[in-house]
Structures are given as structure tokens and as C-alpha cells.
Amino acid sequence: MRVEVLEERGLRFTDGVPVRAASAVARLGDGWLVAQDDATFAAWVLPHAVERVRVLPPVHGLDTFEESLGTKRLKPDLEAALGCEVDGRDGVLLLGSGSSDARTRGAVVDASGRAVVAELATLYDRVADLLRLDRELLNLEGACRVGDVVRWFHRGVPGAGDPTRSVDVDARGLAAAVLGRTDPAGVGLGSPRRYDLGEVDGVGLAVTDAVRVGDQVVVSVAAEDTDDPRHDGPVVGAALVVLEDDRVVASAPLPHVRGHVPKVEGLAPVAVTRASLTLLATVDDDDPDAASAALVLRLVR
């Protein structure tokens, strides 16, 4: 198996402002909705424009957050995006990472660009309990639909004894909770899965996003040299990995992009054939002044 980069572009809003920290992506209408983990609004990448979509209200009057300004602790950290249905219409479900009270919200954006937001802290608390983690160490970075459940991946820090794991969440219940139609505390949860994804230069690989393709799940993984899931570190390797249940069946390293290892944090399927899989990937360079890259990748089996 190998990965080819077919296309690379920097994402900018139509007014020229960079799309920041592209942490998740899912199809919405005629385009793609890209979450920014350090902002309250998303980027709707359409054929001839990139529009802002308000996902969350401002936090203390702020819409963007930066470590250098001391506001990183306030960011919503939307890290997972997947397609969903809202009253018969297509939409996108966005989920925070869960490591602080600022990061436990979910939102559903419909095809008109309207967002509904809910506080899901009780659900995040239950997921942390299942994973036997303090909530502040929870780092839910990717999710995909697998049958009737959403498989939600905790990235973890493998080198610190916290491997990538996942929890299955009842898909209908999760959507209903975000739409305010049921109590998040009652959404069904399944048993955790644990993944051994290998390492690069002694740094463990951990999941950053996931998509389902047929009977398999394809995940983007990164080896980020940090001991704390809340703090960024140098990325020494990245790959795409094919999973069957909790077992790795194939993997391939990601080629360098812009001269360095791409930290892919968003993944969405574009086209599937018997011989290959084409994916849209978004890259978070952890630089608020840089335009996040969108990559078209081809995974050749």
C-alpha cells in the first residue's frame, strides 16, 4: 500500500484571510465544511468561494484563540466532523476534544449553514470514565460512522502509556443530544477498543481522524513528540492506516508536503475503487498565521 499526493492547496477565505488550524472536514452540500480548532466558525469550501459559517457564539467576545495571546485555554477545539441527517436534510456533526469545559460542546450544521449547539459535558465525563482517564486528559480527535454507532477516537499519548482507543456511541442518540432532543447523559456507549499503531523514531503513532470505507476504517495517524495531549510537539512521522475492528491490516507513510511531515487532522472520502481510495485531507500546522493545507490523497492498495 502507498499514498500519493495528487493535489495541494492553501485554504483561504474569499477575502484572503487564512483558514486556521484545519482540524476536521466533512462534505456539506456542494462543498466541504472544514473545522478550525482555534475558532468559533468553520470554513465552507465551495466550488468558487470559501465562506465563514458561524458554529459557536463568541467566547468572552473572541472568535479566534492563540497560545501567544494567552487565550488558547478558551478555544472550542472542534476536532471531529462527520456527516449526519437533520430532519431529512444532510448536515455535519462537529465535536470538541473534551479536555476542558470549553471543549465539550457539539454542533450540527445543516446545508443552509445554520448551526445548532449543545453542551455535552455529561457524555464526555462518561467517555472518560470508560477510558479510565481524568477528563482533562481526554483528547477525542476523530470519529466515523460504523453501522448504528459513531466510533469516537481518543488520540492519547502512546509514549506516556496512553494508547489510542475508541468508544462506540449510539449515532441516533448522539445526534439527538446535540439537537437538544435527548439528555446526553443517556446516550448509549459501547466498550472501548485499543489500537497498537506502531512508532516513528521512538515516538508512538496516534489517531488524528477516521473514515469508514466498506468493512474497514481508514485512520490518519501522527507521531507527535509530546508527553501531554493538550500540548503540541514536533511531528516526526505520519501515515494512513487501515483497521479491521481493532487490528492494523495495512499502513503507508504520508509523503512530505511543503517540505515537512503533514499533520493531517481531517479526513474525508472522495472516491472509492477496487484498487484505490481518494481522500480529502486537511493539515493543521499549529500556526495561526499560515493557511491550512487541503490535500487530495490517493491510497493505492
Q: List the single range of 164-168, 215-219, 288-292 with lowest mean pLDDT.
A: 288-292
Q: What is the pLDDT of residue 159?
A: 85
| CA angle at 229 for the pair 224 and 232, rounded to the nearest 5° | 50
Confidence of residue 285 (pLDDT cuts 50, 70, 90): confident
Locate 40 and state its grid cell.
468559533
- Tell whether the model's pLDDT for residue 229 goes beyond 80: no
Q: What is the pLDDT of residue 11?
A: 97
Q: What is the pLDDT of residue 88?
A: 84
Q: In the chain, what's the furthest Cα-to-Cα distance? A: 50
Q: Is the dihedral of CA 262, 294, 215, 229 positive or negative?
A: positive
**Measured distance CA(36)–CA(285) in Å, rounded:** 12
DSSP classification of residue 3: E
- CB distance 11 to 293 below 8 Å: yes
- Between 286 and 164, the more confident residue is 164
- 73-119 tens-digit pLDDT: 999 999 999 999 888 889 999 999 999 999 999 999 999 999 999 99
Q: What is the pLDDT of residue 155?
A: 95
Confidence of residue 160 (pLDDT cuts 50, 70, 90): confident
- Tell whether the model's pLDDT for residue 288 goes beyond 90: no
Q: List the single range of 94-103, 144-153, 154-163 with lowest mean pLDDT.
A: 154-163
**Measured distance CA(202)–CA(241) in Å, rounded:** 18
pTM of the model: 0.96
Q: Count Cα atoms within 13 angstroms, Cβ side, for 232.
A: 13
Q: What is the pLDDT of residue 172?
A: 94
Q: What is the CATH number of the domain that holds 289?
A: 2.120.10
- CB distance 209 to 221 below 8 Å: no
**Both ends of the chain: CA-CA distance in Å?**
5
Find the mean pLDDT for residues 26-51: 97
**Measured distance CA(182)–CA(196) in Å, rounded:** 35
Find the mean pLDDT for residues 33-44: 97
Task: Please give the tally of structural domains in the chain.
Answer: 1
Give the residue among 78, 66, 142, 145 at the shortest CA–CA distance from 109.
78
Mean pLDDT estimate for the chain: 95
Locate 206 and state its grid cell.
496516534
- Tell whether the model's pLDDT for residue 258 goes beyond 90: no
Give the SS3 label for residue 11: coil
- Tell whether the model's pLDDT for residue 286 goes beyond 80: no
- CB distance 110 to 124 below 8 Å: no
Range of the domain at 149: 2-300
Percent of the chain with pLDDT over 70: 99
- Tell whether the model's pLDDT for residue 230 goes beyond 70: no
Q: What is the pLDDT of residue 87?
A: 84
- Tell whether the model's pLDDT for residue 231 goes beyond 80: no
